[in-house]
Chains A and B, each alone.
Chain A
Amino acid sequence: MIIGAIIVMGQAEEGNTIALILGFLAVILGTLNVVGGFVVTDRMLEMFKKKK
């Protein structure tokens, strides 16, 4: 997932534009997946708090 995307991005050479762009996209997608997932989970869990 995102770790792989970061590695791949980091290893892309300067001149290799396509790899840079694809890597950039991959990191964005991976971040969306991770951050979105955690925030959505938090929102759902928030509703299950014990209400006084």
Chain B
Amino acid sequence: MELNLLVFCYLLGSVTFIVGLKMLSNPVSARNGNLVAAAGMFVAIMGTIFLYEDEGKKLGNYGWIFSALVIGTIVGTLMAKRVKMTAMPEMVSLFNGMGGACAALISVIEFRHLMHGYDATTYASTGSSFFSSLDGTTMLIIFLGLIIGTVSFSGSMIAWGKLNGKIKDFAFKGQHIINLVILLLNIAIAAFIIVARPEETPLFFYAILVLSILYGVFFVLPIGGADMPVVISLLNSFTGVAAACGGFLYDNKVMLTGGILVGAAGTLLTMLMCKAMNRSLSNVLIGSFGGSTASSGAAGAQGGTYKEISLSDAAVVMSYANKVMIVPGYGLAVAQAQHICHELEKTLEAKGVEVKYAIHPVAGRMPGHMNVLLAEADVSYEKLLEMELANEEFKSTDVVLILGANDVVNPAAKSDPSSPIYGMPILEVEQAKHVIVNKRSMKPGYAGIENQLFFQPKTSMLFGDAKKALQDLLAEVRSI
């Protein structure tokens, strides 16, 4: 009877995950979708604590379990509520890392549990029968959970450090070979243990743990900030897969469902973003833009002259426009100018100008970064147009204001086959009548290449820190 109740709890949990996820895709029901999934999770957790039975034995150590739950809830809630919106990308990465670590620890504990009957003296006398009697499939699942969970953990920690600026990009010659070697070594050791069952199995197990930590670190270390959205998404799917492994281990439906959902969604999102950048996943993971110095040498020669526009001219041209499109980029987030941007938008709209935002899928440092940034400034989400929709509207746009975005509006992606960003779909801002680019200087963006857009006749540069420039621009617009 109790077992059936537990199965029902798990079924409920699985259903709420799926329903909640569906609700999340609609802005109106999204918040409730999150609550639904959370409620289902809660039911599954409570069900597990009170109803789980393994060979007739229920779970013990309630004191430990509940205190751990309470500590985790308090700390997690505090951290999540207090973090600044702009620190969201790194928070997401941090929490993901926690999940990976949890999965890895489960594997470690299960392994130790498995080793429980091991006695060195018996081993010697019975001739290695202990290790051979261990179930190979169980061991395989434990190893998978360990490796994937650990890689996700260490990778997420490095991503967290990179996103809050504490860790710089670090690349050294031959590192991809070294990383590949570490990975192969890891797989080889795991396979070896399962097949050969040596006495030193525990030693090898911890070797796998260490190698996995190293792999995760080296995996993420060389990847640059703007590629982080892809990496975070990938690491997220890893955590899901590690959880699914745990689900297999315990034949636990809710862990399986949750893990597979996360793993699948994460993988899809990763692939979508790679497609949006027109770079394969291996390209993202292996090289940043190492080859760009050669090609930008050629492209740079075509630099040419750029025009600067004064604040008052920019204010005039925007105030008298019919339609203005704003293209936000990472620079807007760095300058923390999203609120001023919203002020400018409101002021322009009061003057009868239609203002919308064009959001490129990989603008920023996290999937949805620009959306979250602008939402924090109370920008109505209906004004945010995704790339395809935005591209249809540029030809009827009078002025495009580019705020801290660079590579996502670089025409070389369409015209220059030698460019590292060639083939990436971009925001087609050159179809508009005027383009005003706000940057701090002429220095290249993440891709490290020149942007021909800046030298085109319809483009003018408005130099300055985004926040200051927007404040001054706002003052000028108000005086018109």
* Residues of A that sit less than 8 Å from B by CB: 1-12, 14, 18-20, 22-51
Contact = CB atoms under 8 A, between A and B. Distances in A.
Contacts of A48: 27, 30, 371, 375, 381
A41 B34 CA distance: 7
A44 B380 CA distance: 14
A40 B103 CA distance: 21
A4 B73 contact: no
B95 A10 contact: no
Contacts of B85: 43-44, 47
Contacts of B72: 27-32, 34-35
Say what secondary structure dominates the interface of chain B: helix
A46 B49 CA distance: 31
Given A31-B73, A39-B80, A45-B34, A4 B54 contact: no
Interface of B: 27-28, 30-31, 34-35, 37-38, 41, 44-45, 48-49, 52, 54, 57-62, 64-65, 67-69, 71-73, 75-77, 79-81, 83, 85, 88, 91-92, 94-96, 98-99, 101-103, 105-106, 108-110, 112-113, 239, 243, 246-247, 249-250, 252, 254-255, 258-259, 368, 371-372, 375-376, 378, 380-381
Contacts of B67: 24
A1 B259 contact: yes
Given A28-B68, A42-B31, A19 B112 contact: yes
B27 to A, nearest CB: 6
B61 A45 contact: no
Contacts of B378: 47, 51
Contact of A35 (B64, B73, B254, B368): B73
Contact of A4 (B41, B95, B250): B250
A28 B70 CA distance: 8
Nearest to B67: A24
Nearest to B110: A8
A20 B303 CA distance: 64
Given A29-B72, A36-B91, 11 more contacts: A9-B61, A11-B57, A19-B113, A23-B109, A26-B109, A36-B95, A38-B38, A39-B80, A42-B35, A44-B368, A44-B372
A36 B239 CA distance: 15
Contacts of B95: 32-33, 36-37, 40
Contacts of B381: 48
Contacts of A43: 80-81, 85
Given A18-B112, A31-B72, A6 B64 contact: no
B109 A2 contact: no
Contact of B376 (A19, A32, A47): A47
A32 B76 contact: yes
A39 B88 contact: no
Given A35-B77, A36-B79, A1 B99 contact: yes
